[in-house]
Structure 1
């Protein structure tokens, strides 16, 4: 019995020791030191450690905020001269004699994010991997004004960086690709209506500065303005403010809080001046700058000086090349002309805005004049086809299909007879425009000669075999047993089976040029065979398809398929044609 009491006494003593140690450790916590320092600054006796907790009621439950356990003087005007984290929080509204924000009621995480439940600095600031809302300090906290205030339009004192980001989102044409409910309705890129709820501020900045940092397959271009820290900070702050979960709803809003419908002032009368403003992404007579073509496209002034973005094709000649109606349709839906275009669909433009942009582009009248082949190429071709004629100009990564590679002599030797027509008439279903209204016959001849010279095509003495398209009733080419097999009209169903067997690894099961091996091949990538604007050109005849399948395409990844019977090739051509007709 005595032995049992001894055991209980030992356990009780051990418990007491552990309790004493834990109390000593708790008195050595960082926030306790802050609280002792705070009361020392006030000249008051330390009343003992205290967890200061504020409970903020939200639509999703209670938000726990213990930040003022360390930031003890946040609500005390007498602590204005104290060092961090003991000092008074400065006024949120600049110049206000009395700040309407009561930190004793709203706490800190409402504006600054972080982990309000924690009291250790690293945890409380959300500085660990995976925490979706790390601390927002300084101006960056303006992203969270939207939690309590209507920020769709108008001005809110103290939220200048957020409002600048809202303006830049329109000016830099982000709206053309990304949807934000009430602002834009594009479906070209991920929706950003809840960007701030899903992603941290750092993630958003990183995605703007390096689009492939978080998604290696991202098609988002790297804009020139992405190197400007102030611009990026403003846009990222605005995006961080896009959150579906708000602290205030229309039913429980503060007095005076009314969520307005975002009404953007629009251009109603077309004019060249309005078009210039839209192109530049600048406001026009009070209208919101919902434009910004210059972020992707460049133009030349009358002196030939080039200015603008280097992501999309230069637009100096676009009206003369394409015509007004084409350009209007292309702005609204570029894929109606180029099946794989990545240009945003600007379907939110009204008729006056479309007419204004086209009218402005119609005023661009630069002409090069007398020039040799190098100058002609550098002016009209280099941005897509590259300095080395290899199809890898600065615009090439944003074009689909990619520009042709003219650095390969065998390719140029095989197809140089097509070059004149391709330059003069353009290539349907691609970004290659018609130059017949800009270049003379002599200039086109000079360009073709320049390409041939630079590719060394004349030096390599390569001659492509000439083969004709076999006709129904002709003898089968691979009739090794001499049965006298005669060719029949191509059968689309048989062609489908053959296509799936021989072509899909590159051209894809849908024949759209996106097969599993497509992006591992050398430039250029496989053709999109359901691109009806390309496939239905007069130049893309059945004979051309036959030659490309039978002989391959020199200096590309398209190999010869001379092991296939002519009947099989005719069946594949019939399938491709039927497939294109279905796409229509």
Structure 2
């Protein structure tokens, strides 16, 4: 019995010591010194240390806010000249005689994040690994106006940076790839409706400035405007404000709920000026318009000077190369023409907005002098995709799928010279290569080809000569299947072709024949062809004989090797399989 009392006494004593140490630690923290300094500067007697706590009701719990234990002068105008953290907080609403924000009711963390429960500076500011909401200081705190105010479409006094970010999100065409509920519906890139709830402000900034910093295989382009600190800060503030959990009722919002009037412009009458506004992503008739093509695409003015982004193909010739209907369809759904296109789908545009863009693009009329030399022709019309060294690695090539053709291989250029000219004249469906017949004369195209041949000559192998191989016809007694059983050839069998394709072709072209096999991205440019693209395979120039020669002899200047060890019957079966895929996808 005595031993039990001793144990209880020891535990009680230990508990008292622990309590005393806790109290000592609490009263020995920075906020105590701050409070002493505060009352000393006011010329008042220090009443004793006090943990100043505000309880803010949230939809799911109670937010504990002890920030004013240090920021003790936040609500006192007499502390206007004090240094932080004792200083008076200026009005959140600029120019307001009486700020409606009552810090005694709402605290600090509602706007500034951080860890409101903590009393030690480092912890209170959330400056440690893993804390989801580090302190937002200065204008970036406008991200949290969204917690109490409806910010879907109007201006709110004191939230200028947030509003600027919202306008830039539209102007810079971020909405084309990313969904934010109520703003956009794209599924091209990760949804950002809850970006602020998932990511820190610093993470959002880093993801814009260096897209591959957090996601190594990110397809997000690195835009020119990421070097503009104000632009990045505004967009990051807007994205940080996208949070699903908000204080949005009269009962839970500390200062009430205000819903501004939405002001997102929609064009109802097509015009060149409306198209110019959409293309540039700038306000139209005083309101924000969803656009921003110029962030990815460049164009030339009447003097030939380039303006715009360096991510997608130049649009100076788009209407002349493609035609109005093609361009309109491509804006709405680029994959209807190029199955692997990464261009966003702008299906939210109405007919008047599409017509406005077409009208504006139709005003681009720049053309080189007809007597221009081959090098000048190449620099103007080809270099952005095919590169200065003809290697298919131009400034916009990384964002094109399939990549532009490598023209630095002399054997490719001379082996397919007739096809080469046809591709320039009529384009290559299913790719970014347009038809140039409405922009360039045949003489200019011949001049261009001669320049490319001369420039690629430095890479020419010795004694290169293209072998001519005709497509065998089923039943032709002169083309027996000698590599098989010496029998007459029959029409290709898609089922047999599927088996042969899986055995010989999938490492590069993939099991689905989409050009994305396991070895595809380890190969030298150009990458394997997408063989389920009906746009490419249904071209008049893509004949069965062309496919036969490509399989039998390989493709000169490309990673495609010769499969001359295959029998003619096997090659015909593979061609039949490829054609059947295209028929099924129609």
Give the TM-score category using the shorter length: over 0.9
SS in 2 for 1:63: strand
Please state how far the C-alpha of 1:469 moved relative to its aligned partner: 1.2
SS in 1 for 2:347: coil
How far apart, CA to CA, are the structure 1 residues paired with 2:358 and 2:302? 18
Question: Within the alignment, does 1:164 sit opposite 2:173 as a pair?
Answer: no
List per-residue Cα deviations over 1:474-527 (Å, max 9, x = no partner).
47776368x532221111111111111211121111111111221111111111
Q: Which moved more, 1:27-36 or 1:328-337?
A: 27-36
SS in 1 for 2:416: helix
Please state how far the C-alpha of 1:546 moved relative to its aligned partner: 1.2
Question: Within the alignment, does 1:142 sit opposite 2:142 as a pair?
Answer: yes
Kindly report which structure 2 residues correspond to 1:207-222, keeping only aligned pairs within 5 A, or say none.
207-222=207-222
**Correspondence for 2:413:** 412
**Correspondence for 1:534:** 536
**Correspondence for 1:451:** 452
SS in 2 for 1:88: coil
**Correspondence for 1:155:** 155
Structure 1 runs (4+) greater than 3 angstroms displaced: 1-27, 42-49, 249-263, 457-461, 474-481
List per-residue Cα deviations over 1:361-417 (Å, max 9, x = no partner).
111111101211100000000000000000000010011110001111222222222
**Correspondence for 2:548:** 546
Against the structure 1 CA distance between its residues 402 and 477, is the aligned structure 2 distance closer, same or farther, given a 3 Å change threshold? Answer: farther
Please state how far the C-alpha of 1:253 moved relative to its aligned partner: 6.0
Kindly report which structure 2 residues correspond to 1:98-497, keeping only aligned pairs within 5 A, or say none.
98-249=98-249, 257=257, 259=259, 262=262, 264-369=264-369, 370-456=371-457, 460-474=462-476, 479=482, 483-497=485-499
How far apart, CA to CA, are the structure 2 residues paired with 1:255 and 1:15? 42
Please state how far the C-alpha of 1:119 moved relative to its aligned partner: 1.6
Against the structure 1 CA distance between its residues 16 and 340, is the aligned structure 2 distance closer, same or farther, given a 3 Å change threshold? Answer: closer
**Correspondence for 1:40:** 40
Against the structure 1 CA distance between its residues 361 and 6, is the aligned structure 2 distance closer, same or farther, given a 3 Å change threshold? Answer: closer
How far apart, CA to CA, are the structure 1 residues paired with 2:304 and 2:568? 52
Please state how far the C-alpha of 1:28 moved relative to its aligned partner: 2.5
Of 501, 504, 515, the match for 1:502: 504
How far apart, CA to CA, are the structure 2 residues paired with 1:260 and 1:525? 51
Contact 1:280 1:293 in 2 (8 A): yes
Q: Which moved more, 1:374-383 or 1:466-475?
A: 466-475
Please state how far the C-alpha of 1:359 moved relative to its aligned partner: 0.8
Question: Within the alignment, does 1:576 sit opposite 2:578 as a pair?
Answer: yes
Unaligned 5+ runs, structure 2: none
Of 518, 521, 530, the match for 1:519: 521
Against the structure 1 CA distance between its residues 189 and 261, is the aligned structure 2 distance closer, same or farther, given a 3 Å change threshold? Answer: farther
List per-residue Cα deviations over 1:175-230 (Å, max 9, x = no partner).
11111111111111111111111111111111111111111221111111111000
How far apart, CA to CA, are the structure 1 residues paired with 2:42 and 2:76? 11
Contact 1:58 1:248 in 2 (8 A): no
List per-residue Cα deviations over 1:124-172 (Å, max 9, x = no partner).
1111222221110000000110110111122211100011111111111
Question: Within the alignment, does 1:565 sit opposite 2:567 as a pair?
Answer: yes
How far apart, CA to CA, are the structure 2 residues paired with 1:6 and 1:178? 67
Contact 1:250 1:259 in 2 (8 A): no
Contact 2:480 2:489 in 1 (8 A): no
Please state how far the C-alpha of 1:421 moved relative to its aligned partner: 0.6
Please state how far the C-alpha of 1:34 moved relative to its aligned partner: 2.0
SS in 1 for 2:412: helix
Against the structure 1 CA distance between its residues 255 and 238, is the aligned structure 2 distance closer, same or farther, given a 3 Å change threshold? Answer: closer
SS in 1 for 2:34: helix
Q: Give the alignment's TM-score, normalised by structure 2.
A: 0.94
Q: Give the alignment's TM-score, normalised by structure 1.
A: 0.94
How far apart, CA to CA, are the structure 1 residues paired with 2:175 and 2:575? 42
Q: Which moved more, 1:47-56 or 1:60-69?
A: 47-56
SS in 2 for 1:468: coil
Superposed CA RMSD:
2.3
How far apart, CA to CA, are the structure 2 residues paired with 1:107 and 1:20? 29
Contact 1:280 1:294 in 2 (8 A): yes
Q: Which moved more, 1:408-417 or 1:418-427?
A: 408-417
Contact 1:172 1:295 in 2 (8 A): yes
